[in-house]
Amino acid sequence: MSRTRIHNLSISLDGFATGEPQSAEAPFGHAGERLHEWMFRTRFWDAETGASGVDDAFARQHGDSIGAEIMGAHKFGPPGWQDDPDWTGWWGPNPPFHTPTFVLTHRPRPALEMAGGTTFHFLTATPAVALETAREAADGLDVRIGGGASVVRDFLAEGLVDLMHLVQVPIVLGRGVRIWDGLEGLEAAYDVEAVSSPSGVTHLTFTRRAAS
């Protein structure tokens, strides 16, 4: 059974998954890389100097059994990337997705085949339709919702997410894009597990309850 999953989505104590303003120089705005430092210290991220442990165990679930990703326009590039026909994403010639990757945008362009198995497809679609498209491309494997925060929120609000892993970092960002807005009562559909790590972050796992 193909599931819809979210992994390694880092948020501040006050729930912001990114700061502001977002730009080519500062993709996460005033948050900088503070939301992701926990991940840089894992073996998953750096096989030479990274550490094993609970952070690493969570982080490396990211790619397991994933057959396609869906991401928002804000994740693919800085504001205005749609005006640059040469923009191919933040990640260089070999992006870390290695699957069909669907970019939601109001200004679609032709598909872009990269090295390493990543092909970017650009589409204008509702979350449900985008998921159907990605599910087909995933060929029996799972679909990852890659973010950013507003895309994650849209998929959660429509009840389309089976598994969500959030990482709460002990900082108060104060402004940016908040993951929780419009999701009152989200816990009714999920079992929620919290596990704090010696690194200071807390891993939150939302597992959708079986329909009763």
Q: Which residues are at the interface with a second copy (CB under 8 A)? A: 13-15, 168, 170-175, 178, 180, 182-187, 192-196, 200-202, 204
State in angstroms the smallest separation of the CB of 192 from a second copy. Answer: 4
Omega before 148 cis (within 30°)?
A: yes
CB–CB of 138/68 below 8 Å? yes
Q: Shortest distance, CB of residue 180 to a second copy, whole angstroms?
A: 4
Cα–Cα distance for residue pair 11/171, rounded to 1 Å: 9
Shortest Cβ 34–a second copy spacing (Å): 9
**Nearer to a second copy (CB atom), residue 125 or residue 183:** 183
Going by C-alpha positions, the residue among 151, 205, 173 that lies closest to residue 34 is 173
| Residue 207 C-beta: closest distance to a second copy, Å | 12
Residue with smaller CB distance to a second copy, 46 or 191: 191
Residue placing its CB nearer to a second copy in the complex, 175 or 208 = 175
- CA 3 from centre of chain: 15
What distance lies between CA 8 and its chain's CA centroid? Answer: 7
CB of 54 to a second copy, least distance (A): 11
Closest CA to 143 of 74, 71, 46: 71
What is the Cα–Cα distance from 145 to 159, expressed in whole angstroms?
13
Cβ proximity to a second copy: between 25 and 184 the closer is 184
Nearer to a second copy, 145 or 173 (CB): 173
